[in-house]
Structure 1
Amino acid sequence: MLYKHVWRRTTHIKIIQKQNDQIKNWCLFLYCSFVLIFIIRLVNIIIAHKIGNVSNDNLWMPALVWIAIFVKIILSPEILFGYDILNKTINSTTEKMVLNSVWNIEGTSLPISSNKDKKLEEKMKSLLMVYLHQIEELSFHTHTFRNPDLTIDDIAATLKIPNSHIHYIIKFHCNESFSDYKKIVRINDATKLLENGYLINHTVESLALKVGFSSYNTFIIAFKTITGVTTQEYVKRF
C-alpha cells in the first residue's frame, strides 16, 4: 500500500513531495531498525544455544536501537502526523513562519540577474520577514484567498505593500508557484470547514466553490494531493 499510494505518488507541489519523501525515508528507517534488532536477537539466541547459557548481557544492543528510534520520533513528529501537524501549527500563534518549506528566507529561489531586481534585493533585506508574516496572516486568518480570481496585485493592495515588492517575494523567495500557494491555503481553509461539520448541510461541490476553487475536479485533486486523503476520509477523523 505504501509503495503504490505514497512512495510512488508524485506531485508538482514541492512541499507535498517533500512530505512524501519524508514518509518513505521514515518507513525505511523503521524497517532497517527492526531488521537490525531481529538480527541482534537471533545472534544472541544462537550463541546462547551453543554455549548452553542464556544471558541478558547483550540486551543493551537492541536497546540502543530502540533509543535511536525514540529520539527520531521526538525530533520528527511531522513524519508520524503529517498534515495534521501542519494544521495545528497554522492554528497556533507563533513568531515562526508557518510554511517554512515554502519560503526561501536564507537566499533566493532563482538567481537575480536584472539591475532592477538587484536594487530591490537590497531594499527587501530588512522588510522580507515583515512581509512574509503579513502574507501568512492574510492567508490563514482571513478569507481573502476565497476569491477565485485572486492575484498577486490584489494581495499587494490588501496589505498596502508596493506591487513590485510582492512580485519580488513570490518570484525569488517562494519555492512554490503562486497558483500552488493558493491551493495550499485554500485546502487548509477547506479542512477547517470540514472539521466544523460543513458537509452536514452542504455538498463537496459547494465547499470547493466556497474556498475559492473554480471547479469541483480541481478541488478534489488538490485536496487528495495535499492531505493524502479524500474529503470523506478526512471527515471520518472527526
Structure 2
Amino acid sequence: MSFLLWYNNRNINRNTIYLSLFFIVVSIYGMTHFFTIYHQSIFWLAIFYSHFTPLMLLMGPFIYFYVRNTLEDRQGLKKIDYLHFIPATIHFIGLIPYYFKSFSHKEEIARKIIANLDILPQINSNMFYSAVVGYSMRPLFMMCYILYCLYMLWGHYRNRKNTNTSKTKQSFLTYRWLLILNLSILLLVTNFIVLTIKGIIEDPSDALLTMYPLHIISALAYFTMVFSLLFFPNILYGIPIPTKLNEPVVKPVKEKEIEKKVELVREKQDLLKLYNEDDSLYEVAVAIKQYLLDKEPYLDPEFSQFTISVDLKIPLNHISYCFAYIFKKKFNLLRMELRVNYAMKLLKQGLTENITIDAISQEAGFSSRSNFYAAFKKITNSTPSEFVVDSSKNLTC
C-alpha cells in the first residue's frame, strides 16, 4: 500500500512521498521487530537485524516534512531541512563495518538472539555507541518529532479563524486526518519507548510478556492510521491555499464574463461547468477553465495536468483539487470529452471529405486510432463512421 501511495500520487502531490516513505520505514521497523521476537527464522533475522536501522531514524523527518508541507501547502525541502538527515547518516557510518561482515557471521548473531532474546542489549553492531543507545535513540527521536508536529497542528488550529481556507470541507477533513495520523503515531511511539525502557531495566523477554496488551493497542492505532487513507482518499489533496497566479498565460476573470463568449464554444462551456463558488480555489478553477477554452491545449497528445501547472504556474495538487471538487470531473475524463467534442465538430463540418477520420483523431489530440475510437464510442455511444452517417441523415431531413 505504501508503494501504491507513492506511485499514484508522486506527480500530483509530492508531499505524499514523505508519507509513503514513513509508512515504508514503519513497516520495516515492524517486520524487524517481528523477525527478532516471533518468527524464529535465522535467515530473515540475519537480513533484517541492524541493516535498516539508519532508515528508522528518518521516520521523524519524513512525518515532519509531510505535516509541515501539508499545513503550509508547499512542496519540496529547504536547504536547512537536510540537517534532519544527520543522525541517520552518522548511524549509517557507524554500521559500515557490520555491513561488510560475512552473512555467516550475521546468521550466528541471529542464532544467538533466537536462542536467548535477553542478550539483545549486549550485541553491539555500531562502532559509535552501544546497542542500548541505538535502541533508545529511535523512539526518542520520533517522539520529539511527533510532539512538534502536534504543536504545529495546534498552532494551525488557533489560527484557523484568520483564514478562509481553514473553513473549507477539504481543510477540515485533512486537518482531522493529520490529527488522527499524529495521535496514532504517538501511541506507537509511546509503546516502543515503554518497551525499550522495560527492556533495559528488565530482561527483554519479560518486558515483552507484560507489554502484550499495549501491542494490541498499537496495532489498532496503525490500522486506523493506514486504513483512513482507503476510506478518505481525498485527504491526499492536502490543504490547498490559494495564491495569486504569477503572470499566468490566461488572466483569471469572473465566471459571468466567461458566459459572454461566442456561440462557437457553447458546447465546451457545457463540458466545463463549475461548482462550489464559495470554494477558496474557485478563481483558480475559473482560470483553468478559460485556459482550456482559449488555448485548447488538450489538442496536444502530450497534454496533462503538468502542462496546466507549467503554463498557469499553479501547483499540481491545486489543479487536482479543482478538477475533483470544482469541476467535479476527473481530469482524464474531461480531457477525453473535450477531444471527442472537437472531433465531433470537425466531423459535422464535413471535413471527412478532405481528410480521413484517422487524421481528425490526430488533430483532436488522440495518440492512436484505437484510443480515438474507444473514447468516441464511450462518449457518443457510436463510432465516428456511424456519427458521420447519422449527421448526414439529419442534414438531408
Could you say which TM-score interval applies, normalised by the shorter chain? Answer: 0.3 to 0.5
Greater relative contact order (Cα 8 A, min sep 6): structure 1 or 2?
1
- Using structure 2 for the length normalisation, give the TM-score: 0.29
- Structure index of larger Rg: 2
